[in-house]
Amino acid sequence: MTATTEETAGCPACGARVLAADRFCEDCGAGLGTHDTESVAAQCLSCATGTLDANGCCRVCGRQPAVADRRKLDLGALAAVTDRGKRHAHNEDATALRVLDATRILVVCDGVSSSDHAATAADRAAATAADRLTTELSRGVGSEAATIRAIGAAADAVAALGESGDRTPSCTIVTAVVTPSAVTVGSIGDSRAYWLSTDPAALPPRRVSIDDSVAAGLMELGVDETTAMSMPTAHTLTAWLGADADAVRPHILTFAPDGPGAVLLCSDGLWNYFPTAAALTELAFPDARAAPLATAHRLADLALAAGGSDNITVAVAPFPSPSRSPRP
């Protein structure tokens, strides 16, 4: 019998003992050798222990430290921008965009900053919802049913990140399915969707999502908006995605625009400063129809100029869809 000793080495990310044949470090999850060289290079700058996964999240601390302060997504007929803001060390917002034939899909999620791994929760929810919407719609499922299933899948994905507790990973979600004839919006939490338009013959600008917050509950009881929003607990969520959340009951709304405009999804990093559809319409137009990426950048810049106290995410889809290709 011949004894064989496998070659050992130290993990380049955390220094733990690994074998030559190992593809990943069992301690920190870093990719090893030629199997995953990009993961080895992408070391977390926050905890200095883990490495980043394909979504840019640290495998150990869950944050997204090695990314630019601002990221963009440009699919031509829709675009999004997410910015860290001025006061947060990390961006705990996430966004996902998809195009399925003539249908466009937008998702914005906002990690609950008081929870652990909020960035991971938001990223997981956004990607899961966008993928599930694409799958369901491609099978011929209607927009409302697809939205309910997608938000349910996102809720399950976030719940799987941790057990119920004071700091379990949590986030909000708002989605939009934009077809050539209608828009379907779904939401849980206080990330918002708006319909924007300057056409006097079209549907007037309006918010098309419902907040799950203390302020929203007070307004349902008859408290005026100014008073409700001035309460110290105004932004406290009454529904969210997470292992400690109640049963998933998303708000669903479908409307048929009768003229040109734009669908805008955003986190509270934008609407805290510009809460009304009229104000957002004034700021977004005239470029929102022809230049969704430039519009998303400008709105994020305006939120920064107004204070930038939170992460900012803006997603824009002109209606009807412009006929152009994604920018390089």
Tokens 């809460």 belong to which residue?
275
Structure confidence at residue 46 as a pLDDT band (50, 70, 90): low
Domain boundary assignment for the chain: 1-67, 70-319
pLDDT tens digits along 65-122: 544 689 999 999 999 999 999 988 889 999 999 999 999 999 999 999 889 899 999 9
> For the chain, what percent of residues have pLDDT higher than 70?
77
Rounded CA-CA distance 179/105 in Å is 9
Q: For residue 213, what are the contacts with CB-CB under 8 A and spacing of at least 6?
A: 189, 190, 234, 235, 236, 237, 238
Structure confidence at residue 61 as a pLDDT band (50, 70, 90): confident
Structure confidence at residue 230 as a pLDDT band (50, 70, 90): confident
Q: Is-contact 19 6, C-beta < 8 A?
A: yes
Q: Is-contact 62 32, C-beta < 8 A?
A: no
Range with lowest mean pLDDT among 20-29, 98-107, 185-194, 316-325: 20-29
Mean of all residue pLDDT scores within the chain: 84
Please give the CATH topology (third level) of the domain spanning 70-319: Phosphatase 2c; domain 1 (3.60.40)
User: If you average pLDDT over residues 249-262, what whole number do you get?
Assistant: 97
Q: What is the identity of the amino acid at 186?
A: G
Whole-structure pTM value: 0.78
Rounded CA-CA distance 68/153 in Å is 29
Range with lowest mean pLDDT among 226-230, 252-256, 299-303: 226-230
Asked if pLDDT for residue 324 goes beyond 60, the answer is no
pLDDT tens digits along 262-304: 999 999 999 999 999 999 999 999 999 999 999 999 999 999 9
Asked if pLDDT for residue 6 goes beyond 80, the answer is no
Q: Pick from 23, 24, 21: which is nearest to 7 by CA?
A: 21
Rounded CA-CA distance 62/236 in Å is 24
